[in-house]
């Protein structure tokens, strides 16, 4: 299977629980990103990673943790889920061709509902 996959596709959890969303890409892209999409806000960057073991905060990082021990995987963990984290989460990846921004390739998304 080639491309970028996310799991689970749907998740229901309760406030206070820890949740991990998985992202896997088969292209060996250097960069990976996590976004959340909410009505009226478009896509907002949570965290991104330039390479294995290199991560950095985006626009809305509070309440989230990421890691990148392998190039192909970029899991996103909600340490203690809150209702405000109910959203659709998208993972994306891009190559590192130049020093400027390249095309991003998106996964299918994970719909998370926090009760």
Binding site for another protein (CB under 8 A): 31, 33, 35, 40-45, 48, 50, 56, 58, 90, 92, 94, 96, 99-109
Q: Which CB, 54 or 115, lies closer to another protein? A: 54
Q: Which two tokens stand for residue 93?
A: 């990846």
User: What's the closest the beta carbon of residue 1 comes to another protein, in angstroms?
Assistant: 15
Cβ neighbours, 10 Å, residue 42: 9
User: What's the closest the beta carbon of residue 37 comes to another protein, in angstroms?
Assistant: 9
Distance (Å, whole) CA 115 – CA 110: 16
Cβ neighbours, 10 Å, residue 1: 5
């Amino acid at each position: 299977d080639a491309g970028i996959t996310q799991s689970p596709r749907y998740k229901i959890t309760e406030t206070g629980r820890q949740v991990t969303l998985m992202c896997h890409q088969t292209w060996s892209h250097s960069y990976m990103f996590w976004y959340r999409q909410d009505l009226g806000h478009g896509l907002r960057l949570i965290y991104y990673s330039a390479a294995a073991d290199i991560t950095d905060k985006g626009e809305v990082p509070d309440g989230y943790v990421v890691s990148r021990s392998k190039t192909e995987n970029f899991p996103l963990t909600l340490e203690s889920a809150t209702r405000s984290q109910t959203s659709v989460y998208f993972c994306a990846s891009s190559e590192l061709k130049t020093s400027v921004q390249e095309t991003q390739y998106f996964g299918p998304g994970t719909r998370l509902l926090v009760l």
